[in-house]
Structure 1
Amino acid sequence: MTTNAHGPAQVVGVPVAYGLETFRDRTREQNDVLRDLADAHTRVVTIVGRRGIGKSALAARVANSVQTVQRWRIVNVSSRTNGLSVERIYLDCARSVGGEAEQELLSVWTSGKTMVDKLMELLSVFAETPCLLVLDNLEDRLTDTGEPVDDELRDFLDVRFRVHHRLRALVTTQVPIALAPAMRRYESRLYLDDGLPSTDGVALLRELDRDGEAGLHRIPDEELARAVRRVHGVPRAIELVFGALVEDYLTLPTLDEVLVDYPAREDMVANLAQDRFRRLDYEARMVLDVLAVFGRPVPAAAVAWVVGPMAPDLDVTVTLAKLAARGRMVTVDRTTRTFALHPMDSDLIRSELDPDGPLGSRALDRRVADWYANSKLPAPRRHSVDDVLPDRYEFAHRVRAGDHEVAAQLLNEFDEFLMWRGSAAATAVMHEQLRGQLRDPEIKLGHLVGHGMSLVGIGPLDKAAEVLREAVELVDEVGDLHLTQRATFALGDAYRLLGRLDLAIEPLNRSVELAAQLRSPEWLSRALMSLSLAHSYRRELDLAQQVAERMHEHAETADYECGRAQAYDATALVALARGHWSEVIPATERASAAYRRAGVTEALGYVSNVQGLAFAALGEYDASEAALLRGRDYGNDLNSPRTVGLCLHNLAWLHWIRGDHRKAAETAQAALAAFGMSGGNDLIAAQALATAATAMSAGDLPEAARQLWSAAESSRGNADLVPAEWLELEAVRLAAEENSRE
């Protein structure tokens, strides 16, 4: 891998196949792929075929040609090396451009923008810069029907078809990607169904037996061709046939004897691999077992560390050298000095391991996890997502070993680090793997709090509340005040955001009490803020004002700038709920200024939304629109769908009162889409407002009035939405207008 700390990297990531110098045939397929990549209309070339058919080898050959002849940059991403995810794609593509552009892209990744906006920024860098992104073994990230298994990958596939760029993708997969018809025009798909032609299969066998050890030089081409046809020309099967011949020094089988026990069917590659590995000696098999459990390229020292206690006399370096000789069973990357099994071999070997044996998969996973535990960076030295890769690998192996309690303790140490660096979705996925697996109450509580807080950030809120309810049920048993305070706050805040206000008050009050007891200015201010907002939503405005005044006192006593911002924020919402419009504007201005001084941007969208409503009430429509659009942009930047939904919903009403009902309907539909991601009753209000605006555009005043009444009922109790009274007054006006027509 070529890298440059000060400039672009010509090649990023481990090449997705081995032994390009022995690559056989596929000349037509290679030319087809190169032709399609050169076509300006092609965004993705997908090579589809069964395991072992040579998809990765063809992709690697194409990448090598593009890099050496056309001087394109190459980014290799595989599910079998560092993992195939949008996070990995983004970071490696950023590394390929280097310099200031890389640093800007890394800042975007950690900014809190939506995934779509992050990807738009990434692709804009490649507007005129040719680069080939090789995505190997994509089937690991697809369902059986070809659908992406996560929303981030779905967003990536969608955005790359919508934006002009020169970041071409070359995909290998066993399962075709399920693309919408509109996207298919930008994809070229190559089905690699056939194995190598007999002549090329024969040439590959002779290349493998270069030194004549297997005696293939004495076998006529016709017999070798028959052997190739017997295994359907599958390149990896041909390699395994050779391995079975050359490594059996006990029975010294003939080629026919090797082939006779393996019928020509789809699982024959697996049968060949099992036969080959069974004939290895104990030391070699142990090394292969360890490499299979690692499942990614690792240095010899890693294998030796894992093997050490189980076979102290085994010379791992010598064994790896023997296995790597002639590229037969283990491949070596001389640049990184790492060893790896072919991914198919890793899968097959691992499947044969006894899970519970003394040298079984769980025991090896524990040793591998321990190696990563000893290799990871201390917390003060972690600055990027890549800095916690060893922690994440350790977590994966702890889970595979069935050590869920240990895995949960580990995740609880770095999940918040990932959340704050744009990888909340990855954090939630890891927590999801632990659901229902934990018994220790304290460990389980930490996991539930972390999982719930990650879901509060990315949604859906209903699921976040479900997880946090489970956490709160544990707090008394555990007795950890810090976790109890976080759990009760997160649950109360989730209920508030969901509009379930009667359920929000009790946990928020408890969270306030605990934060005061723990003398935590930050958490006390957060809890008081949410409590004041909940009272405002419930129209308990005197209580909301009392809490806001306490927030002011607390912020001054603690000299806490963010607390000052939150106090003004709460005060503004109380004034809004009272209809004291002229008091809202200065309070929101002070809140915004204090938030900026504190370096806290998360709440600026909500503040702008409140300000927009106040300007609308005062008849200052231009100022209202500017504030609401500003709030929407803050929400998009911070990946907060609820903030976006609130601002768009209220902007739709502004379009209504300005008489543009068509635009009101479009904007309300956009609000509906945003609320669909965050959940809660806001969605019902947005749907009713969108339907009312559509009816109004069609001149159906009775239906518009009915839907306005529905919108008013759904928004009642949410001070962040257009006041229900405004909607009711308009419904009454429409009814009167309809009556006057009659």
Structure 2
Amino acid sequence: MQTPTTLDERIKNLVVAVGEDLRRQLSGALRTLRQADNPRGVIVETSSIALVLIRSLLSLSGRKPPSDNLFDCIECAVKERLLPAEIASYLHNPRFLSNKADHAVMSITPSAHDAEILLSQLLRFCEWLYCDSEHGPRLPSIYSGDPSLMAELDRLRQELIEQGQRRREMKRESIVGLRFADIGGSFKDRGDEMSQLRRLLAEQTVKMVSIVGRGGIGKTALLAKLFAEIESGALRLSQGAAGMGADGIIYISCRGTDRPTVERLFHDVGRVLGCPHDETLMACWRDASRSLGEKTRFLLSKLREGCYLLVLDNLEYILADDNTIADRELKDFVDICLTTPHSLRLVTTSRNRVVVSEGGMKETRTVALDRGLPDDEAVAFLRDLDHGGDLGLRDAAHDSLLEAARCCYGVPRALESVAGILSSDPSLSLEGLMGDAGLFNDHVVKNLVAENYRRASDDQRRALEALAVYNKPVTSTAVRYLLRPHYPEIDADGTLRALARNYFVSCQRGRSTYELHPLDQQHAYGLIPESGAYSRSALHRRAAEFYAELRKPPGEWRSIEDLEPQIQEIHHLICAGLYDEAAR
């Protein structure tokens, strides 16, 4: 094989064989060297790419990679006769970093010459993998299509198309947005708070009810329990509502890309009211001659009768430092809602108390979740978490469970993490876990979340990191797609099911989607490397590509919901720092 003389030519020669993604990463490493003059960054990037490729060589040959250590994987590939010693010598270079932990602590101060040598050696390995004239490619492009994955993407795209068609056939939608997961019989106590919420929502003068409490205390679970009653009709807030206890419900999570805008609220209220109100509302919104106040009052004039509910979950994500709503238009919309007669109720959850205008304060009420579950309820909750009795909780002595409940301050997420840790380590007893005094202090929730993550397997950590990148409910296909270029051997379905059993992720059975609790999402996301082939930016780029695969054909573009894949794609491109691509 004739070897091109420059790095640029060698990368260009690889394009057809390796695919666009790997070419982009190799070209990016070269730019890091030449434009940013950052040899350290080149070494991080090339080491990450080498690890991905060598792990893929093992996985696609039916061998399980021994670890995330590059040199361990090289030795395994040589031992299995997948990698000649001559080629292995190109990678077994002390300039390469052995694993992700070394990316943060580099024992050498590399020069530009060191980085160029390393990139050249990585290219030699790629040329052997993909461009050998005698043997042909030894490794199919790890970025090429997987037939089963492509078929699943086709199915998801078709589901979105059919959902849009069904939505257009409906005269109106009584529920808009992603409903809460069914918490079933796991909900405990909160009787006083439930009674308070029922009473406040029935009061005509109350326009906004906020549930406020620390992370993991159970705010969303409380709201899910309340709205299950409303959806079933057990709690009736409008006598004229058919089937439900309210005339319409709009669910919005303020996490990730689902953050509310006033334009979206106009659209969602239109969906609840149906034709012809949806068209008149959007025409009002597009009318440049009207002020925001005039537009908002027109919308509220459509909601004079009955009871309509707007749910804003995790409101803290859209609050400014002074706890006012950061988006000026949305802030003004809420302030007008609090001072204008109508039948719309705002219901929010937040870690912080939202600050509203002085004129709207008397129409606002706060339900504070400032305590964990009572002792008896916390003990019962721990027993319920051990359905099969395998964790030693269901049949444990009352005093042992009581001690655990009190050390967790009765916080539901902390109690779930205790069960998760015991589930992931069959050799660990409750007493053994409680013996770790460093876990049980004022930061017990965060400590247990971190401990649960630490005890997770490598495959589970990668799945958690994938969910953290998406930061919204997604299917196992989304996780599989995100991880495939880096960890093609991971069984996404099995791994996610195990995580759900370990109370690490929540699963909505009807939708077959998985998501992380906000505390777990923040922890997992914070541990993803900031640079390299496997990094936050690389994963966000891959997430953007996933949503690009789900785009509907232009003939199906009838409303903003039909463009949801594009919206998600743009969001992840921005998170990846690819602003030019996001603007196209």
Q: What TM-score does the superposition give when structure 2 sets the normalisation length? A: 0.65
Post-superposition Cα deviations, 1:678-712, rounded to whole Å, max 9, x if no partner, equal xxxxxxxxxxxxxxxxxxxxxxxxxxxxxxxxxxx
Displacement, 1:220? Answer: 1.5
Q: Distance in 2 between matches of 1:83 and 1:259?
A: 41
**Aligned-pair distance for 1:272?**
0.9
Deviations 1:692-736 (A, max 9, x none): xxxxxxxxxxxxxxxxxxxxxxxxxxxxxxxxxxxxxxxxxxxxx
- Structure 1 equivalent of residue 419 of structure 2: 242
Taking the aligned partners of 1:384 and 1:218, their CA distance within structure 2 comes to: 54
The answer to whether the 8 Å contact 1:16/1:136 transfers is: no
- Structure 1 CA distance for aligned equivalents of residues 515 and 575 of structure 2: 20
| Cα shift at 1:227 | 0.9
Mapped pair 1:410 → 2:574:
no
- Structure 1 counterpart of 2:113: none
Structure 1 residue 304 corresponds to structure 2 residue 476? no
Task: State the SS of the aligned residue for 2:250.
Answer: strand
Q: 1:401 is matched with which residue?
A: 576
Number of equivalences: 407
Structure 1 345/170 Cα, relative in aligned 2: closer, same or farther at 3 Å?
Answer: same
Q: TM-score, normalised by structure 1?
A: 0.52
> Aligned partner of 1:354: which letter?
P
For the residue of structure 2 that corresponds to 1:218, the secondary structure is coil
Report the alpha carbon displacement of residue 264 of structure 1 after superposing the two structures with TM.
4.5
Residue identity in the other structure for 2:214: R
Q: Choose which of 323, 326, 332 in structure 2 pairs with 1:155.
A: 332
Corresponding residue for 1:680? none
Residues 1:385 and 2:560 aligned together: yes
**Superposed, which structure 2 residues align to 1:203-218 within 5 Å?**
203-218=380-395
Query: Do the aligned residues in 1 keep the contact of 2:573 with 2:581 (CA within 8 Å)?
Result: no
Contact 2:251-2:310 at 8 Å conserved across structures: yes
For residues 15 and 357 of structure 1, the distance between their equivalents in structure 2, rounded to whole angstroms, comes to 37
Q: CA deviation at 1:229?
A: 1.1
**Unmatched tracts of structure 1, length 5 or more:** 414-742
Could you give the per-residue CA deviations for residues 362-414 of structure 1, whole angstroms, max 9, x where no partner exists? 221121111122223456754533343323322222232233xxx22332x3x
Deviation at 1:157, TM superposition (A): 1.2
Give SS of 1:172's match.
strand
> How has the CA–CA distance of structure 1 residues 47 and 106 changed in structure 2, closer, same or farther, with 3 Å as cutoff?
same
Q: For 2:230 and 2:363, locate their aligned partners in 1 and report how far apart those are by CA, in whole Å.
A: 20
Matches within 5 A, 1:578-593: none
Q: What is the deviation of 1:193?
A: 0.7
* 2:510 paired residue among 318, 323, 335: 335
Answering whether residue 275 of structure 2 is matched by residue 94 of structure 1, we say: no
2:520 maps to 1:345? yes
- Given that 2:573 and 2:582 are in contact with CA atoms closer than 8 Å, whether structure 1 keeps it comes out as no
1:306 aligns to what SS in structure 2?
A: helix
Separation in structure 2 between the aligned mates of residue 254 and residue 275 of structure 1, nearest angstrom: 14
Contact 1:81 1:297 in 2 (8 A): no
1:268 offset after TM fit, Å? 2.4
Helix, strand or coil at the partner of 1:189:
strand
SS of residue matched to 1:213: coil
Mapped contact 2:257–2:568 kept (Cα < 8 A):
no
Q: What's 2:537 paired with?
A: 362
CA contact (8 A) 1:294 1:368 kept: yes
CA distance in 2 between partners of 1:56 and 1:318 (Å): 27
Aligned-residue offset at 1:258? 4.4
1:132 matched to 2:304? The reply is no
Residue matched to 1:52? 216
Counterparts in 2 of 1:20 and 1:160: CA distance versus 1, 3 Å = farther
Corresponding residue for 2:283? 107
Structure 1 residue aligned with 2:192? 28
Counterparts of 2:405 and 2:256, CA distance in 1? 30
More helix per residue: 1
Q: Which of 189, 202, 220 does residue 38 from structure 1 map onto?
A: 202
Matches within 5 A, 1:678-717: none
Q: Which has the larger Rg?
A: 1
Aligned Cα RMSD in Å? Answer: 2.4
Residue segments in structure 2 that go unaligned for 5+ positions in a row:
1-162, 237-244
Corresponding letter in the other structure for 2:511: T
Displacement, 1:18? 5.0
**What percentage of residue pairs aligned between the two structures are identical?**
32
Q: RCO (CA 8 Å, sep 6+): is it higher in 1 or 2? A: 2
Report the CA distance shift for 1:383/1:3 in structure 2 as closer, same or farther (over 3 A).
closer
Q: 1:34 to 1:12 in 2, by over 3 A?
A: same
Which whole-Å CA distance do the structure 2 matches of 1:375 and 1:39 have between them? 44
Q: CA deviation at 1:199?
A: 0.9
- The 1-side partners of 2:269 and 2:540 are apart by 31
The one-letter code sitting in structure 2 at the alignment partner of 1:95 is R
User: What is the Cα deviation at residue 247 of structure 1?
Assistant: 0.9
Match of 1:318 in 2: 494
1:44 offset after TM fit, Å? 0.6
Aligned residue number for residue 559 of structure 1: none
> Could you say what secondary structure the match of 2:346 adopts?
strand
CA distance in 2, matches of 1:288, 1:173: 24
| Partner residue, 2:60 | none
